């Protein structure tokens, strides 16, 4: 039986690369794609390699990036354009295999196990993919190769991007030599908080985690402890599938505020807007959800504050006010009063909207009629056609969000 051959194809500085292709006059200039500085979304979404040579990093604050690279050209993101190109790249990758799984807007998993007989060895296929994407889109792609998705991802993130040919293969034959010496914080699935926990246990490298007693990890984190151990040992059974996103686990909406919000009444307006948006998207995808969660991030970068909390509803819903009431209760209970810079509302434990238990104490039919009327107006006249009066106050963001895709301008 042949080993699986999995690719993770990553587009280098995707947003910046698209901008340079569309604007050839910027080819030899350092370029930064960032949100609208006037509305305080000044975070670096993408920096081209020339800008990165000056120390500019993705997710850093724009003013810091400009200090490091004063000559950089700053462009506002065009999310619809990036989405269109991403879909076109997916279609191109389907020429190499019918198993293409978009992982993010600039990353795609491919299972080319069955393609090797026709298209050649994995390294040959990887190079053909890179040259095809460069010829068709003008974008430099990097390819990580592994027997599963975890090793393909690790190969791409930590080795392919550093190789001149943009390709690296990571498998059991070189995993201990290449991957195990990396800091444990570099491992897929380990965030900053988990990194601190692991270091507190004396685990500083991926190799140390791989050789740590599994039972102790399971005792502390349960199934998550076993998953961490498996990743460190290069074990991953998840297949590349084309229908990964067909069944959503949650629907949410998050936004960075144009200024620090510290008045609870202003925050209440934003929570209502986000709740209505989550409800509308849930209805559009024909889901109802039973759990509402709220994420708040404080305004102080140096001393991060905020919370992420959730509550189980009495019955599933996709009605905006139901979501809002739960969200605002969470906010009132857990907010410490510090100024905030971003807010998110999430609806999870989804189920089909046409299949639910009627509640004698809930006016579900009336809610459905109201929602249907709102959705009809929204669909016919656009998101600005009908908004709540509170959205017309200085705290409201509904009009600005209507001009965006994924939180960024189209």
What CA–CA distance (Å, rounded) separates 404 from 141? 27
Question: How is residue 124 written in tokens?
Answer: 């040959």
What CA–CA distance (Å, rounded) separates 252 from 292? 9
As a three-state string, the secondary structure of 140-175 is CEEEEEECCHHHHHHHHHHCHHHCCCCEEECCCCCH
Contact by Cβ (8 Å): 317, 350: no
Whose CA is closest to 209, among 142, 149, 154? 154
Contact by Cβ (8 Å): 353, 288: yes
What CA–CA distance (Å, rounded) separates 396 from 383? 14
Element (H, E) at 290: strand 287-298
Contact by Cβ (8 Å): 151, 240: no
Helix axes 214-221, 223-232, angle to 10 degrees: 140
What CA–CA distance (Å, rounded) separates 77 from 86? 14
User: Positive or negative, the Cα torsion across 335, 250, 288, 384?
Assistant: positive
pLDDT (0 to 100) of residue 40: 45
DSSP-derived secondary structure for 175-243: HHHHTTTSBGGGSTT--HHHHHHHHHTT--BHHHHHTS-HHHHHHHHTHHHHHHHHHHTT---PPP-TT
Instruction: State the catalytic residues.
Output: 107
What CA–CA distance (Å, rounded) separates 194 from 392? 42
Domain ranges in the chain with CATH number 1.10.150.20: 180-232
CATH of 180-232, one of 1.10.150.20, 1.10.10.10, 3.40.50.261, 3.40.50.880: 1.10.150.20
pLDDT (0 to 100) of residue 14: 94
What CA–CA distance (Å, rounded) separates 123 from 109? 16
Whose CA is closest to 140, among 8, 18, 5? 18
Beta-ladder partners of 352 = 287
Whose CA is closest to 347, among 289, 307, 295, 296? 289
What CA–CA distance (Å, rounded) separates 101 from 122? 18
Domain ranges in the chain with CATH number 3.40.1170.60: 24-77
What CA–CA distance (Å, rounded) separates 276 from 176? 49
- In sequence order, the 6+-apart residues with CB closer than 8 A to the CB of 372 are none
Helix (H, G, I), strand (E, B) or coil at 311: strand
What does DSSP assign to residue 367? H
What CA–CA distance (Å, rounded) separates 91 from 286? 27
pLDDT (0 to 100) of residue 300: 74
What does DSSP assign to residue 393? S
CATH of 250-409, one of 3.30.1490.100, 3.40.50.720, 3.40.50.2300, 2.60.120.960: 3.30.1490.100
What CA–CA distance (Å, rounded) separates 226 from 215? 8
Percent helix, percent strand, percent coil in the chain, to nearest 5: 45, 25, 35
The CATH class given to the 24-77 domain equals alpha beta
Phi, psi of 236 (to 5 degrees): -155, 120
pLDDT (0 to 100) of residue 256: 80
Q: For the domain made up of 6-13+80-176, give the CATH fold.
A: Alpha-Beta Plaits (3.30.70)
The one-digit pLDDT tens for each residue of the chain (410 residues) are: 568 999 999 999 999 999 999 999 999 999 999 876 555 457 888 999 999 999 998 888 888 888 999 999 999 888 889 989 999 999 999 999 999 999 989 999 999 999 998 999 999 999 999 999 999 999 999 999 999 999 999 999 999 988 889 999 999 999 999 999 999 999 998 988 899 999 999 999 999 999 999 999 999 999 999 999 999 999 999 999 887 655 667 888 888 887 888 899 989 999 988 998 898 888 888 888 999 999 998 877 666 788 889 999 988 888 888 999 999 999 999 998 999 988 999 999 888 877 655 555 556 666 667 767 776 766 666 666 566 656 666 666 665 555 555 555 55
The edge-to-edge listing of strands for the beta sheet with 100-104 is 100-104, 107-111, 6-11, 141-146, 167-169
Domain ranges in the chain with CATH number 3.30.1490.100: 250-409
């Amino acid at each position: 039986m042949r080993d699986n051959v999995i690719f993770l194809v990553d587009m280098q500085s995707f947003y910046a690369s698209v901008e340079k292709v569309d604007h050839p006059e910027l080819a030899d200039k350092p370029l930064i794609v960032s949100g609208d500085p006037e509305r305080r979304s000044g975070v670096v979404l993408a920096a081209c390699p020339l800008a990165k040579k000056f120390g500019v990093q993705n997710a850093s604050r724009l003013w810091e990036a400009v200090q490091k690279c004063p000559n950089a050209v700053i462009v506002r993101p065009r999310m619809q354009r990036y989405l269109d190109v991403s879909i076109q790249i997916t279609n191109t990758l389907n020429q190499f295999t019918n198993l293409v799984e978009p992982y993010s807007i600039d990353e795609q998993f491919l299972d080319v196990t069955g393609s090797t007989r026709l298209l050649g060895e994995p390294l040959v296929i990887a190079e053909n993919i890179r040259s095809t994407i460069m010829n068709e889109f003008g974008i430099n792609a990097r390819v990580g190769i592994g027997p599963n998705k975890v090793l393909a991802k690790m190969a791409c993130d930590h080795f392919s991007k550093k190789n001149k040919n943009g390709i690296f293969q990571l498998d059991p034959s070189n995993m201990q030599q290449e991957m195990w010496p990396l800091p444990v914080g570099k491992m897929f699935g380990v965030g900053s908080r988990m990194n601190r926990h692991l270091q507190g246990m004396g685990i500083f490298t991926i190799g140390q985690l791989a050789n740590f007693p599994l039972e102790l990890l399971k005792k502390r984190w349960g199934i998550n402890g076993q998953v961490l151990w498996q990743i460190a040992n290069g074990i991953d059974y998840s297949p590349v599938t084309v229908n990964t996103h067909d069944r959503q686990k949650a629907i949410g909406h998050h936004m960075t505020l144009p200024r620090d919000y510290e008045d609870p009444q202003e925050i209440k307006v934003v929570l209502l807007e986000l709740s209505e948006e989550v409800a509308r998207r849930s209805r559009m995808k024909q889901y109802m959800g039973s759990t509402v969660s709220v994420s708040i991030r404080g305004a102080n970068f140096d001393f991060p504050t905020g919370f992420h909390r959730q509550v189980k509803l009495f019955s599933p819903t996709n009605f905006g006010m139901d979501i809002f009431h739960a969200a605002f209760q969470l906010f009132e209970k857990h907010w410490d009063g510090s100024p905030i810079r971003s807010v998110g509302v999430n609806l999870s434990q989804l189920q089909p909207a046409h299949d639910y238990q009627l509640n004698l104490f809930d006016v579900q039919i009336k809610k459905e009629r109201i929602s249907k009327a709102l959705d009809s107006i929204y669909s016919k006249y656009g998101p600005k056609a009908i908004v709540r009066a509170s959205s017309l106050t200085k705290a409201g963001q509904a009009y600005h969000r209507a001009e965006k895709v994924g939180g960024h301008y189209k």
